[in-house]
Structure 1
């Protein structure tokens, strides 16, 4: 959530060697690897055979992630950071995130799941709001190596404390699950529609997090502390929207497709009208983009609860079993695919020529291709709504 601050420090570091153009891969790899690992862990730990290992896996993951950040403090090459901070810490994060999400799903399976997911997801925005200033202050005071060591300690302490107070639902310990994992939801197109839209949206979502601070520095030539402020403003609105989109799903019965459309269309408009037009000349436009996009895009994940409800109804109508915790993990996997694709695309897009438009628009800067990619991915990330509208008159189909 705050990698943009680290990226600027890595880019200007005299002790870090290697291709500086690959630094952006570290941040997008962290998200991508974590989300790609989650579906594997969720599938295994949602099975009764391995369910009792959840807390142990989460404990190991916390230690692995903390150790990776500590080892990264000794890195001298960019590829060291890609392996340690970009991959290993992400695997540890997935080992913590997957088991605790499965526990959350069990506690709120009978109601208010969207609200619960929204509150959980808003926590990352709380971190993303406060930590830019913490990381900036640590980098200024302790440098890169000291900051990574402090962050390793924070990961270890908060992870262990969180697990110590996380309850396990008593009924879940004795509930019998079918030995065979129910994969029947893969026969229905609903899963593929939402998973594909999720992957497309996520391919652009990680780019502002990665490049917003650099854009503020290189294009607007503002101070580093203002770059940290941009990232904080990007994350703060998601605290409200993550909970808000969950409430829309649970309390106001807004359909999953409409919820998704609000998030995706709002995100696309913010990119197109605020980041893409005058943000390279008017700081207020970039601030407005950070707040607006942070609100609409930050709440996208909270719409997943509605998606799962759709799949539950579909399974019930076909008299099929479905493990919602595992499905949630697979949706995280689709997001991981998007993050990986977006991370690679972001590095390559910065190498191409600026778009052939007048320099009075931000599209004419070197970040123009990145801006366009972010806007298009946000727009097509809401394609599930269009598909739903077009398919009302057709019969539902199943694979196989």
Structure 2
């Protein structure tokens, strides 16, 4: 490109020259002062292909750093919440702190609920405008808040102490860490968003696989107070390490520094409400086995503490595969979001109703099979969200509307949070309700019978979006043809 500027005439002209793959940039300035003319040239030569390759390499590096940092941060964010079932079994058995024997299950579900419910607000605030520059500060503050909350909860003497410190404050800190770092991931993986989300969810399930056995061993050897103190240290170290790995700026930071209007147009489309309601209902049931599976194994099959904790591990292991698998089904195989959702929801429901509800209280192999199969299908549900977002992007393009995908992902997490809150409140009452039949031959006949039925029914209703959207599309096609 050649740029000419004549200060006397106030005229600027530009010309482009491309020769043998090299871009030549020439700046020529003319000035007239007291009859004399001075002319200067500045030539800048750039190799366009090399520059583009360097930019592409830098973008890939930033993307992989975002992926690596996000994967590492799954430990401090989800390590406690995903394996609370082990804590619940210990607290109920020891009644420590006081009041835990009958209602300790509410802690884990409240923690999950608060985390997910806070995500829409934080995703919205940190994704656009002036607040986006504070992402790292918010994440570091979240690490410190979570660390302090877990440390203080080790001194709890009443159940409500743990509910406030672990269920609310630690959850808030975890959300402050999760939201800004996930936004980095969303910005660096526009094309393979579903696969990237699947990879992070697989990391989350790796955490959920390892932590139950670690927590079980620590609780039995040093008790819950020192276990929480050790955990607070782990949260601090791994949290700061993960933040250190993350890129210091987003791929679109230059654009996002200027305040932008938040696009709320997606609220006008019924697709958002269909998926959100289905997501909340599914999540209400999904929280039940995470919380009560370990206690169920101990109470019905009389398994040891470590074997009971192993059930939570078996529940989380398959999600390592299914999270990536469901993401690839959306990104690579072209399977629709509604079909992906139906596969996940139907598989979860059938395993709960037919495996957990039948002979799982008498045959250990059946309970193991349930944990693996249910963990596979339920664990992949969140990976279908990437496909949902694709549908929203398509609708937005058809209607010439703006769409903020990071904020939309936060909204889906908020819907899941509603489900977890319902799960925590309903779980305690359903456990008190007891069996749904008199016979002790089946899982339905145990004190967990109502919980099992609730899990299966909520999962299948969580797939109803497929039927609703399928009917809507069929009706539109019929109208167009006639």
TM-score of the alignment, normalized to the shorter chain, above 0.5: yes
Name the structure, 1 or 2, with higher relative contact order (CA <8 Å, separation 6+): 1
Structure 1 residues 318 and 146, CA gap change in structure 2 (3 angstroms): same
Mapping for residues 1-400 of structure 1, pairs under 5 Å: 1-13=82-94, 15-18=96-99, 20-109=101-190, 111-168=191-248, 171-176=251-256, 179-395=260-476
Q: Is the 8 A contact 1:198 1:331 kept in 2?
A: yes
Structure 1 residues 229 and 266, CA gap change in structure 2 (3 angstroms): same
Per-residue CA distance 1:84-140 (angstroms, 9 max, x = gap): 11111100000000001111000011x111000001111111011001111011112
TM-score normalized by structure 2? 0.80
Per-residue CA distance 1:349-387 (angstroms, 9 max, x = gap): 011141125322111111000000000001010111101
Q: Is the 8 A contact 2:92 2:100 kept in 1?
A: no
Q: Is the 8 A contact 2:187 2:251 kept in 1?
A: no
- Residue 392 of structure 1: how far off its partner (Å): 1.6
**Cα RMSD (Å) of the superposition?**
1.3
Q: Helix, strand or coil for the counterpart of 1:321?
A: coil
Q: Is the 8 A contact 1:139 1:147 kept in 2?
A: yes
Gaps of 5+ in 2: 1-81, 478-482
Structure 1 residues 192 and 252, CA gap change in structure 2 (3 angstroms): same
Q: Is the 8 A contact 1:62 1:155 kept in 2?
A: yes
Q: Is the 8 A contact 2:147 2:232 kept in 1?
A: yes
Q: Is the 8 A contact 1:61 1:92 kept in 2?
A: yes
Rounded to whole Å, the distance in 1 between the matches of 2:150 and 2:182 is 23
Rounded to whole Å, the distance in 2 between the matches of 1:353 and 1:143 is 30
Gaps of 5+ in 1: none
TM-score normalized by structure 1? 0.96
Rounded to whole Å, the distance in 1 between the matches of 2:329 and 2:405 is 20
Rounded to whole Å, the distance in 1 between the matches of 2:434 and 2:317 is 33
Q: Helix, strand or coil for the counterpart of 1:179?
A: coil
Q: Is the 8 A contact 1:28 1:342 kept in 2?
A: yes
Moved over 6 A (4+): none
Rounded to whole Å, the distance in 2 between the matches of 1:105 and 1:138 is 36
Q: Is the 8 A contact 1:201 1:380 kept in 2?
A: yes
Q: Is the 8 A contact 2:142 2:175 kept in 1?
A: yes
Q: If each structure's strand is expressed as a fraction of its own residues, which one has the higher value? A: 2
Q: Helix, strand or coil for the counterpart of 1:320?
A: coil
Rounded to whole Å, the distance in 1 between the matches of 2:461 and 2:396 is 26
- Residue 178 of structure 1: how far off its partner (Å): 6.2
